[in-house]
Amino acid sequence: MMNFPTTVPTEAYLILSAVLFGIGAMGVMLRKSALTMFMSVELMLNAVNLSFVAFARHFGRLDGQIIVFFVMAVAAAEVAVGLAIIVDIFRSRRSVDIDDVNWLRG
């Protein structure tokens, strides 16, 4: 019978966080759809939240979890405003392609 470790090491969480952040960064750089870019930014925020929680767990403190709470509150407000902007752009232009919204320049 194999004995598996009861806890996952912090390094595994940090590697997962780095992979998720990289996927999000590539999504922002390579995609042209505003919705896909928006979801990629949210993925990057969640990757950073995962690393905050991993470090908080590693050091046995609550600081990282408190920061995650505030980041999630700001992200919820960002989602509301961002989706409202994307819906407004779609209603006026019938597209959420970033190349098609050059009329936003002032």
In a domain, 4, yes or no: no
Residue 69 confidence (pLDDT): 92
Output the domain CATH number for residue 25.
Answer: 1.10.287.3510
Q: With contact defined as beta carbons under 8 Å apart, do 43 and 25 qualify?
A: no
CA distance 99 to 95: 10
What is the model's pTM?
0.80
pLDDT tens by residue, 76-91: 998 899 888 878 877 8
Q: What is the DSSP letter of 103?
A: G
Instruction: Classify the C-alpha dihedral 87-93-97-102 as positive or negative.
Output: negative
pLDDT tens by residue, 19-57: 999 999 999 999 888 888 889 999 999 999 999 999 999
**Is the pLDDT reported for residue 18 higher than 90?**
yes
Q: Count up the domains in the chain and report the number.
A: 1
Residue 63 confidence (pLDDT): 87
In a domain, 3, yes or no: no
Taking alpha carbons only, the member of 17, 8, 19 closest to residue 57 is: 8
> 66 lies in which domain range?
10-104
- Bridge partners for 33 per DSSP: 97
